[in-house]
Structure 1
Amino acid sequence: MSTIIKAPLARVLIIYGLGVAAAMCVSEAVTELGKIAAEFHPPSRSTIGWVMSMPSLIVALGALISGYFVDRIGDRRVLFTGVLVMIAGDLLTTAAPSLGWLLAARAVTGLGYVLAAVAAVTTLIRMTSGQQRSMALALWSTFVPMSFLLPFLSAGLADRFGTWRAAFGFHVALLIVLLVLAVLAIPARDPGIRSDRARGAGRVLRSPMVYLLGISFAGDSFLQTGVLATLGHYLGAKYGIEEVAVAHWSAVSMISNALACLSVGLMLRRGVSSRAITTLGMAITGIAGVALYGTAPGFMASIVTVWVLMFGSGLLVGMWTLVPFTAPSSDSIGATSGLVTQITLLGVLLGPPAFFAAQAAVTAAPQLLVFLSALALCALRYPVCRLADRAPARHATETIGSLAESSH
């Protein structure tokens, strides 16, 4: 059993599982917001919305400093600490006697989320190389859409127990199982290694490539979350369909997005360049977006268009393989991952409100403009793509050998 857990594939899957479970800090609340509102009677809908968004806010604010700690004390320690903090936050959530307590508990959960998410992707980079790394990071890029699928299972569990708190209890159980597996699978730090990482975050903050990649990811996450958040109201008003029906069909778009992320790894293994994948992703996403907001093809045709759009978006977000190429040095991988994550999450936070504001207009033209503007930001990754396509072998030689030391 120990040998199986320590196999390279098993390690990747366990770390990926922790990433999905970390992202569930946000999505686990989606199906329970109505029950939470019924119990605590918030003063407005925006207040109850913070029950879901609070962890994302913490991630957006704290990813860079989390990356600093990953480089400073090691990804394994930060990863396990993050999981323990998430468990504590969920337990506080299940015991929340008031809305204020609940929001504070969700902030604690968000702290665990940001520590675990940044440490997990850094661990994947440390423990993989070459084509295996490309596939591992392509798989990693699916952790957010997959996190939105799993809560539907826990929602049934919550209904069976008659309380929304059961959903968070299920999350605690999942985290404990994954933590035990991770303790067994991820190698401990070599006590003979000592290194100062204090300057890592500073070098990352001065690196333009990190910002270019982060902003490009933020553009994709901005349009992705904005489209999905407003799709029910948009198609419902346009075709007279209930928003529940739109949400049902939209679940397929998450699967489409995940499949696209995985296909990025396969294409890279077959020698397709990062620039070609980026161009293909932008073309598919752009054409689908114009069809969605610029035409009236009918309800089901619009749903299929959203699936295509999310596939193209998945090709863009699946390019997490570019992150190591933006790191200014091998001892700043954690801070690099943290800053890219932090900028990306700003897109997640800003996308829905921007699309809702555009949706208030009489026509769909403002939504299309916001969509295309966000898509244009994705082109900022081309300099990073060029770097990755020109010198993959040199970069691997320089960094992989030292990553084992720098990330323990």
Structure 2
Amino acid sequence: MRYSAPGVYIEEIDSGPRPISAVGTETAGFIGTAPRADAAINEAIAINNWSEFLRRYAGDGLASTDLANAVQGFFLNGGSRCYIANIPEGAPIAGKGLDALNLVDEIAMIAAPGRTDFSSHEALVSAAASLKDRVAILDGPAQVDDIARLTQVGSVESEPASGGDEGGEGTGGGRRSRAKAGGLRPPMDDKGYGAFYFPWLRARDALDPAKIVSVPPSGHMAGIFARTDAERGVHKAPANLPIRGALGLTQMLSQAEQGLLNDAGVNCIRFFTREGIRIWGARTIAPAESNWRYLNVRRLFAMIEESIAISTRWVVFEPNDRPLWKAIERDVGAFLTLLWRQGALAGAKPEQAFFVRCNEETNPPEVIDAGQVVVLVGIAPVKPAEFVIFRIGQSPTGTMVEGN
């Protein structure tokens, strides 16, 4: 602006912080075969309620599928928006349908309901790990004769349903799992981008409520993920919650069996006499010694990373010097402080919950000459109280223990 005449000039400048907004984590992506097998093949279509799914992918006289039962379970358990990729019956998961879901940045969790084979699990986990903004929800087999096989990495083949399931009622064109020799656990993922659930649920058929059928748990789990995120936040482990619509389980598990499976990263679905059917696990398929063994930690970091990446695009091509570094520290610090106040990060003070460094130490001359600006961020996530231990002992009669 040129100044020629004496006077007072007022200019507006943008000098305030640029808030970082948390990305959504409640949208699911499902891939499978719909009752209407020819509807929008290999396309990712947004669905906002169960009635919309029926209108697009079902019809009078059509039999239900694992995909239909899972989507109904998603909306029944608190889900509000998902994407559907309808693929031909028997088609591999790794294909155009999964590619279509990969292009949707909004998706935060993906599942292939009823697909229990090793190759399907591997395709889902690989997609989630490569994109780093979503997790894969994996269905275990409906039931097993030997629980120990679920702790061993192996493979499971899927075959078309023949009109009846373990309980005698068919899912009308879904898929059944038949175990091969060896383990049944999905492929190990060191970064924890997959969560494995066992067993299946018994529920009313989505298109024929008079039937009670076996339903893969991934759709119901995705709905509970979404409900937990909306009510408590992504940092809350989606476990110890009732499963709406579940009438029973295809296999009952004991406390001892759960102990064996929990160490292997198998999230069990249990029936308790007083509480009913609940999710009783919140682990990923990462090794037990990994920092990514808890599902809420993995999802929290995915949300934080994507939120920062999207909201700091303004930094690109800015002058790479101290004013920029301080602005980055300010904006990222404000975002993490908000998460700490919401209970997502551990620590009594923000300094104990996180740190953000962007200075001469992280950006020496050689880094600046390479056109890079490096920001170092450390985060202390909250982890679930997985094992609650009460140590109870006897004390002499009349003795009272006082605390400060």
Structure richer in strand, relative to its length: 2
Structure richer in helix, relative to its length: 1
Regarding TM over 0.5, the answer is no
Q: TM-score, normalised by structure 1?
A: 0.24
